[in-house]
Structures are given as C-alpha cells and as structure tokens.
C-alpha cells in the first residue's frame, strides 16, 4: 500500500468526497492514531533541547488587566461605516479566527445608529411606565440588587449575511460575510420581575424599549416575550457590559434579531400596540416578492456556517482536515448539523460539542480526508422545532431579490483542486 | 400590617435568619412581585424624559478591538509578587466584582515562576519523546490542524485560599482571599491523539511536562490522566490563549491543581516514574501533622464560596438580597450547594444555574431577607461523587496548621447588625 492508502484504510467514510464518521471525535484518539502522522515531524534530536531566547531571561511581570499577545494583533473586527452618517455602521466579528463558542468581549460584533455613548452609570436610570399600576424608576445601584439569571446565548444582527443576498458571490473572510453575530454568557435581571413589580394592566400587549444613544434607538417588543426569557443584561462573559454592548445596561431578547435587544436601555413603556418607530418601519423590514414588506419579524432562523475551511483559510496539501463551524437557532436548541463535501449530493452528520444550549452557538466538527480534488463544502442545521436551514436558492424563490434581512441560507465554499484555494460561491 | 410585614408575608422561608426557598428563582417573577418594591422608586414625572448629555451628540465610532468602560477601570487583578524574585508571584481574579461563570481573559488569575515569556509562535515547537515508538515534534501550524475539543472548565492554583490557613482571619476582598481560580471555555487538541500517534511503549506510566518560561517549570502527570481528558489548549474564551495563560500553547488538566497545567508547553517526555522535579518536591507538597509531607496530590477538592455579600460589599439597609457565589469540584459536577445565614445551624439548598458542567464553575443563588440583625453566612458544596466541602476546623484537625495548599474549607462571612459590614471570620 502507498503511504496515503495506509492512512485511509482504517477510516469509516460516511459521505462523498472524503467525509469521515463523527465517531472519530467521540473515541478521542484511537481512531485517529496512525493516520495523522503527516502533520508532525520526526525530531532531528531529542535532548538537549535548544534553549529559545525567551527562556534566557525572566519574562514580564503580572498585570492588573491583561492584554493579548502582540503576535495576535491582526485578529480584529472589520469596521464598516455608513457613508455620511457619523457613528452609524457595523463591525464584524472575525469568526474564522476564533474557536469554541464564546466570543471575546473585545471582538463582539457592533451595530450602532449614532455611535457608542460614554455613559456614567451614576447618571443613568431606567424608567418603566405606560400601562402599569405603579410607574417605576431604577437607578443602577437599585437594579444591581435584583435577582439575576445567567445564560450563554447568541446575538445576531438581522442584517447578518446580507452580502450573500447580492447578485454575485463576494470574496471576503467568513467574518465579513457572516460576522454580525456573536455568543456570550449574559447575566441580568429577568424582565418578568420588574413588570410584575410595576403591575401590568389589562389590554397591554407591547413594550416600547428606548436606548440612551443619540439616535434614541427604539423598538416594540411583544409583552409575551418580555415575560418569557427577556432580561436586562448587566454582565457579559463575567465582567460588566462593554460600552459597545450597552453599558451600563441593555435589553437582551434571546433568539430575536439583535436590533431589538436595545442597548443603553433607559425606558420601557407598556402599550396596547406596537409604536411603529422609525427603526421598525424604515429599517429591519423584509421586502417581499411584489413589493410588500413584512414588519415586526423577530426570531432569527435556524442557521449554520463552516468557519474553517473558509475564504482565506486555504488547504495546504492533501490529507486530513477538521471541518468546523457553528450552528444556532432563534427557536431553541440545534438538533443536528449535516455537512456535505460534494455540493449537497451526499450529507453526513457532524459531531456537536456538548452542552448543546438553547438559542446559543453550537460548535460542530467533521473529519475530512481531502484527496486534492475539487470539493464543495456546505453545512445545514436542523433545530429542535424541526426547521431545516434552507438553500440560498430556496430563499430567493420565496422572497425575491430585494430582501436585506434574515438571510439564513446555506453558505457554500468551493475548494479548488490542487491549490486548495477556498472561495465563496452560489451553488 | 407594616410595610415590612407585607413584604415578607408571602415568602417561603426555608432556613434560619431569612433564607428563602429557591423556588423564587425558578418561577422568575411571580414569587418576587410586590416584595421588592423597596428597591425601585416612583418617578417624579414620566414624560418628557430628561435628555442626558450622552444623547446630545453622536458617540464614538466602531472599533477593531474593544475596551471596557472607563467607569470600570477599578476592576483589576490584585498583583502579589514574591520579594526578591523577578517575575515570580501571583495576581488574583476580582471574583467579587464578576458575575456568571466565565472569567474574562484579561482578569484570569496568574501564577508565574519567572514571568511571562514573549513567545513568537513561529519559533515555538512541542517535542513528544521518551518511551514512545516515534518521537514527534509539532510546529504551531501542524498542531493547529489537529481535531479539537471545547469545554468550559475551571483552573485553580493549589495555593488558592492559603491566606485562610493562617492563624488570624484576614480582612481582604473575596478575590484576594480566593481569587487564584478562574473559569474559561478552553479549546484544544486531546493529548490522547498525540500519544497514540507517537505510540506509547509498555512500562510507561508518567509524562513530564516542561514549559518554555525562564523557570523551565516542570511537572509529572500520570499517563492515565493524559489519556483521559487532558488537552493542549490553544484557545481561551474563543480567542487564542493570552500570554499569561501559556501562549501559544499550554497543557490543560481538568480538575487538577493549576500548576500542573504547564504553560508555554514545549516538551512532553513519557517516563516510567515521576521525575521529581523541583516544582513537585520543594513546592506544591502538603505538610501534614507530624511533619511528613504529601506529594503528587493532584485533584482539587469540592469547594464553594459566597462572592456577594463578601468583604467590602456591605449591606446598605434591611431588605431583600441575592446571596450568590460559585461552586466547583475537581471530581466532576456539583450536585448541591447549601447556604446558611445562622453560622451553620440551619441550611437551605441554593438554586444552581444551568447547565451544571463537570469540573466547571457552577453559579449558585439564594434569596435572603436581611432583618438588620447579625448574620453569619456560609456555603458548602457537595459534588456528584458525594464529597462534602469541609469546615476550616475539620481540615485543621486532620492536617494541622502547616499546610500551604489544597484549602477547600468553608468560607465564613459575618454580617454586623445595623451597619451591615461584612467581615471574614473563622467560625
């Protein structure tokens, strides 16, 4: 047998073009042994090891607030502004350079309508009023005394993946195509507690949420959602919220389009009807076939994305690769992620990282033997409600070409034969 | 009824001195309603709201790598050096100012023996040799191609909580007393894969792990642990490891004393016996009654800690408080956390934040009605193996007074009547 034949003889292929059974990940080692030898090398000598320069003198001291290695400085959010509008724009999480499920706070995506306000928490308060028995106002100190809950959940801008709605597939890193989403551990006060304390009156169905940014960004939220799993988030990944994530407090609505989780929250008004604010009529509406538009479309659809390989992360030589990515759904837990290496002709089930949490990122992994030929990589997620991530083609057939939001279509990566170059394609 | 009587009439007290049934947290609101009214205030007017200064002009622009609010700058690691030894010392995570379970990377505790090396990943490699069929060397690029796993797990220095082993209870923030522990989402390559690839020979039982710091910090690890759940960690909370956590790669041994998860890992040597390095003989040994010392004591015991209230987080007025803290065990999952407000006379079960993960922080919460009288707060954790967190007194009886490591004794906080001042006491 040739070296490559030996490598692949004991593998359990489960779908076309080299996909390997996820059992490989479950056995942790045994099934991988012997077949990954290409990646490591035989040392020229074992001892004594060469002493690198950084072992020849003491390193730097402990620090009060750590920073990352200077060798990682290139891992950054990509900032995109709206021409002519000060403080309006986005920054994209570089998802192709991250791993696991948590997004570091410094790299959480941004979408602002009038920049990031510099709020003094001692001068900030939250008003709860409208159709309630007792209007209430909460200082920061008061709110910090309330009972809290902690959950790991994603946040996704409803405009995420909008580039792929255009007529031509653009070549950009996965983060620029899909990085208006992040996942954090959020800790905050359940809205239900505050609403019960105020006493919601009969006839109330909606709550207006208003931010303390210069745009006064405002959205209407169903009262039912507010009483279910909505929180006033105070902490993000253990520390207090970052300014660009709503410091000192933000609304957080698990699974709903990001814009509704109003940052720098200063007011909640209980109403009978949605307020029809600028932000829910001029933006964040879905233009349909025939020109009509859907408004007040809240939950984010079931979605997944291969982050590696992806544009810019080219394959270097034939051999074993880990295909990995993330899946999420606004409807609950991810039930299954399937991966194809032959453009959707055959699919195999990926391994999911435990614990699989509701309305959270789920990391999936698939072992793959690339033979050096052409490959077309796709992933599709299925959530616990049974919803299946659609193809771009199916979405276009249903909604037409003018939609700007809620694109949960399958991302297709083409791998070129021999060169291993990865490109974004519409398949 | 007086205002306070009304507040407490519908509460289900479950232990002495004001502890309230955890059901309060499970119902999210209903049970809390009406009884928390003291915290919020009635607004003097509802509309129009005053416009704060930060709403009068656009805020700052999006940024490539975010920083926290300047109003949070005081949340820092407390640095403690070893006099006369350059780069040797610790920094403590300010656990009393954090919430949830994830520790932000910038605030992860530190323990270095010769400072933090500034390693160029292109010049770093890992050698795997000793009792193996094929010695192997891994460049960073090669290792990054291997299959990975992701898990949220704690790391605790075996010297954590050492201050409480002294004869007098010291007054310091909870983080300074117990902050040599943190919890992160770690992503890395299972050791089992690398060891299988190298081919471990008969007679091998231990693996020497050596770091690329100027101390060449070295520990011996049982081969069995290496084949079980040990990983070479590459990512921490989504991004690449921080320098003070071993960039570009570290060993990570879930549940074991932190020192063994060797940072800046450059060498693994498979051996028959433990190497008896300086770090496992002069440090990290447990002096017993009679002067003998235990060595090679690896798993961290079951432990918990109330982070709020705690020293410096004094109560301001009688009323409702959330008692909260964290629990963890090197043996697996936390099964139960009990809280006492009367110095251990009576105990009630705290609510645990889901998901409860193995060898990870579990956040617990307990509702408490403080009547303004004296209170003595304690928490004790029980893990899935049935181990119960011991009192300080029981540990001293068993091990004597000269132990420096593995202190998992119960922390006792005294709350003074009227003033609400919280102090560290030995009860």
Per-residue pLDDT tens over the stretch B398-426 = 888 888 899 999 999 999 999 999 999 99
Is 3.40.50.2300 the CATH number for A303-425?
Answer: no
**Contact present, A155 and A251 (Cβ < 8 Å):** no
Of the pLDDT bands very low, low, confident and very high (cuts 50, 70, 90), residue A376 is: very high
Of A113, A237, A132, whose CA–CA distance to A182 is shortest? A237
Task: With CA atoms as reference, report the closest residue to A124 among B66, B76, B39, B55.
Answer: B55
Q: What is the pLDDT of residue A3?
A: 47
Widest distance between CA atoms in chain B: 81
Cis peptide before A48 (omega within 30 of 0): yes
Q: What is the pLDDT of residue A44?
A: 75
pLDDT of residue B24: 65
Instruction: Give the pLDDT of residue A381.
Output: 98
Highest mean pLDDT among A15-24, A47-56, A101-110, A392-401: A101-110
Among residues A363, A383, A361, the alpha carbon closest in space to that of A323 is found at: A363
Cβ pair A127:B363 closer than 8 A:
no
Contacts of A27 (CB under 8 A, 6+ apart): none
Pairing of strands B286-287, B293-294: antiparallel
pLDDT band at A402 (very low <50, low <70, confident <90, very high): confident
- Mutation choice for B interface testing from A27, A58, A254 by most B CBs within 10 A: A58
- Range A327-334 average pLDDT: 98
The confidence band for A161, taking pLDDT boundaries of 50, 70 and 90, is: very high
Q: Which residues contact A225 (CB under 8 A, 6 or more apart)?
A: A253, A256, A298
Distance from CA of B397 to the nearest CA of A (A): 35
Q: Are B262 and B232 in contact (CB under 8 A)?
A: no
Give A54's contacts (C-beta < 8 A, 6+ positions apart). B117, B118, B119, B212, B213, B214
Pick from A40, A89, A98: CB nearest B138: A40
- Distance in angstroms (rounded) separating the CA atoms of residues A81 and A62: 38
Q: Considering the domain delimited by A110-288, tell me its CATH architecture.
A: Alpha-Beta Complex (3.90)
Select the CATH number that applies to the domain covering B110-172+179-283 from these four: 3.90.420.10, 3.40.50.300, 2.115.10.20, 3.40.50.720. 3.90.420.10
**ipTM > 0.85 (yes/no):** yes
pLDDT at site A9: 54
Do A110-288 and A303-425 agree at the fold level?
no
The pLDDT value given to residue B31: 47
CA atoms within 13 A on the CB side of A188: 32
Q: Which of A27-31, A59-63, A88-92, B8-12 has the lowest mean pLDDT?
A: A27-31
Give CA–CA dist B91/B112, Å, rounded: 9
Give the residue extent of every domain in chain A. Answer: 110-288, 303-425
Contact across the interface for A41 and B196, Cβ inside 8 Å: no
Of the pLDDT bands very low, low, confident and very high (cuts 50, 70, 90), residue A26 is: low
Contact check, Cβ <8 Å, A238/B147: no
- The predicted structure's pLDDT at residue A25: 59
- 3-state SS, A157-177, equals CCCCCHHHHCCCCCCCCHHHH
**Number of Cβ pairs < 8 A linking chain A and chain B:** 418
**Amino acid B1: pLDDT:** 41
Q: What is the pLDDT of residue B366?
A: 94
- Among chain B residues, CA nearest to A248: B69
The predicted structure's pLDDT at residue A233: 98
Q: How far apart are the first and last CA of chain A?
A: 37
Half-sphere exposure of residue B25: CA atoms within 13 angstroms, side-chain side: 27
- Are B214 and A59 in contact, with CB atoms under 8 Å apart? yes
Partner-chain residue, chosen from B59, B87, B212, that has the shortest CB–CB distance to A118: B59
Structure confidence at residue A34 as a pLDDT band (50, 70, 90): very low
Angle at alpha carbon of residue B337, lines to B336 and B339, rounded to 5°:
145
Q: What is the pLDDT of residues B3-25, one digit of tens each?
A: 445 455 567 888 999 998 877 65
Pair B424, B177: CB distance under 8 Å: yes
DSSP-based three-state secondary structure for A107? helix
Task: Band the pLDDT of A117: cuts 50, 70, 90.
Answer: very high
Low-confidence ranges of chain B (pLDDT < 70): 1-10, 24-38, 83
Is B49 within 8 Å of A266 when comparing Cβ atoms? Answer: yes
Task: Give the closest-approach CA distance of A290 to chain B in angstroms.
Answer: 36
Nearest to A245 by CA among A372, A375, A155: A155
B36 to A71: CB separation less than 8 angstroms, yes or no: no
Q: Which of B54, B117, B127 sits opposite A43 (nearest CB)?
A: B127
Cα–Cα distance for residue pair A412/A164, rounded to 1 Å:
10
Distance from CA of B392 to the nearest CA of A (A): 28
Task: Tell me the pLDDT tens digit for each residue of A306-319.
Answer: 999 999 999 999 98
Tell me which residue in B90, B148, B197 faces A33 most closely, judged by beta carbons.
Answer: B197
Q: Does the distance separating the beta carbons of A29 and B193 come in below 8 Å? A: yes
Whether A63 has a pLDDT exceeding 70, the answer reads yes
Question: Strand, helix or coil at B141?
Answer: helix
Element (H, E) at B77: none
Q: What is each CA distance from B337 to A170, B49, B304, B358, B423, in whole angstroms?
A: 53, 44, 8, 15, 22
């Amino acid at each position: 047998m040739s070296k490559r034949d030996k490598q692949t003889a004991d593998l359990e292929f489960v779908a076309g073009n080299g996909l390997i059974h996820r059992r490989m990940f479950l056995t942790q080692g045994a099934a991988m042994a012997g077949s990954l030898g290409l990646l490591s090398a035989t040392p020229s000598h074992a001892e004594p090891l060469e002493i690198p320069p950084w072992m020849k003198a003491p390193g730097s001291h402990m620090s009060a607030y750590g920073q990352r290695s200077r060798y990682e400085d290139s891992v950054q959010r990509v900032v995109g502004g709206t021409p002519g509008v000060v403080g309006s724009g986005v920054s994209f999480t570089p998802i192709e350079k991250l791993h696991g499920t948590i997004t570091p706070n410094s790299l959480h995506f941004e979408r602002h309508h009038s920049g990031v306000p510099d709020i003094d928490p001692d001068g900030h308060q939250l008003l709860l009023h409208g159709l309630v028995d007792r209007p209430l106002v909460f200082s920061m100190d008061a709110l910090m005394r309330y009972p809290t809950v902690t959950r790991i959940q994603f946040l996704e801008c409803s405009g995420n993946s909008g580039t792929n709605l255009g007529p031509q597939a653009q070549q950009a890193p996965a983060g620029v195509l899909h990085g208006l989403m992040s996942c954090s551990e959020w800790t905050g006060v359940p809205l239900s507690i505050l609403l019960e304390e105020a006493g919601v009156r009969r006839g109330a169905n909606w709550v207006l949420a208003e931010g303390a940014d210069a745009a006064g960004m405002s959205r209407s939220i169903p009262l039912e959602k507010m009483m279910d799993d909505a929180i006033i988030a105070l902490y993000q990944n253990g520390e207090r919220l970052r300014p660009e994530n709503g410091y000192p407090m933000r609304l957080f609505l698990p699974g709903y389009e990001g814009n509704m989780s109003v940052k720098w929250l200063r007011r909640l008004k209980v109403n009978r009807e949605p307020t029809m604010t600028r932000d829910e009529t001029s933006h964040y509406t879905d233009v349909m076939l025939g020109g009509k538009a859907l408004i007040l479309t809240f939950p984010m659809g079931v979605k997944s994305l291969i982050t590696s390989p992806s544009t810019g992360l080219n394959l270097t030589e034939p051999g074993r690769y880990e295909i990995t990515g993330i899946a999420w759904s606004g409807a609950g837990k991810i039930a299954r992620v399937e991966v194809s290496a032959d453009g959707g002709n055959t699919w195999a089930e990926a391994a999911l990282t435990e614990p699989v949490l509701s309305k959270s990122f789920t990391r999936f992994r698939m072992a793959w033997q690339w033979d050096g030929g052409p490959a077309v990589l796709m992933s599709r997620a299925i959530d616990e409600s049974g919803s299946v991530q659609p193809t771009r083609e199916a979405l276009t057939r249903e909604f037409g070409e003018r939609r700007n939001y809620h694109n949960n279509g399958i991302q297709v990566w083409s791998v070129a034969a021999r060169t291993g170059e990865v490109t974004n394609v519409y398949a």
